[in-house]
Amino acid sequence: MTATHTAKLIETIEYKAREIAEQWYKNVKINPKTPIFHKMHQDDAVDLALKFYTNYRKLFDTDNPFEEAHVLFSKYAADCYKKQIPLPEAIYSIILMRRHMWLFVEYQAVFETAVEQRHALESQSRMILMFDYAEYVVILTYDDLVRNEVEDKFKGLKVKTPFFVLWPGGGKEKAK
């Protein structure tokens, strides 16, 4: 069950998801750490952020936040991978999603009283945890996608023991 102060945060994010995503896009479009987004069509980029902001509630309304984060962010990672967004830029774009979400809520004065601001900090702790999960899941998903792509390319070349068997944790069971 979501606490009232958390519900206020979630509702603000849900109702203003497009506005937050567009602010995020304005940042990634010019940010020197996200050059791939500089030439990406606005609708494509905004959709990446919208998928997160519109599903944010799921990360709070669950007894298994890691599993929910895994579902949501493995999709995000797969979308980024298909768009050929380098992993560091995919991760940094998530960092900026969190930042823009929090800045938006802060500038909207969603939490006005001292008690609400204290509760906001509790919500922020949960948000940070969710984004920590997100970064981990994106890295795992990219790793799997790269391994699969390399494996498929080696299969096409009919190589029996590709280099991925040397990849930490990644080849012993596949090399048999």
More confident residue, 69 or 142: 142
Is 49:19 a contact under the CB 8 Å cutoff?
no
Q: Quick one: pLDDT band at residue 175, thresholds 50, 70, 90?
A: very low
Better-predicted residue by pLDDT, 115 or 147:
147
Closest-CA residue to 130 (of 63, 69, 49, 61): 69
Q: 130 near 53, Cβ under 8 Å?
A: no
Residue 71 and residue 68: Cα distance in Å, rounded?
5
CA–CA distance, 174 with 160 (Å, rounded to integer): 10
> Which candidate, 121, 100, 2, places its Cα nearest to that of 52?
100
The reported pTM is 0.79
State phi, psi for 13 to the nearest 5 degrees. -65, -45
Whether residue 144 is predicted with pLDDT greater than 70 in this model: the reply is: yes
Looking at residues 155-161, what average pLDDT do you find?
Answer: 69
For 4-175, CATH number? 1.10.490
Q: Structure tokens of 148?
A: 């699969």
CB atoms within 10 A of CB 168: 6
Task: For residues 132-161, give the mean pLDDT.
Answer: 84
**134: nearest Cα among 87, 72, 85:** 72
Spans of all domains in the chain: 4-175
Q: Return the axis-axis angle of helices 87-107 and 42-53, rounded to nearest 10°.
A: 70
pLDDT number for residue 97: 93
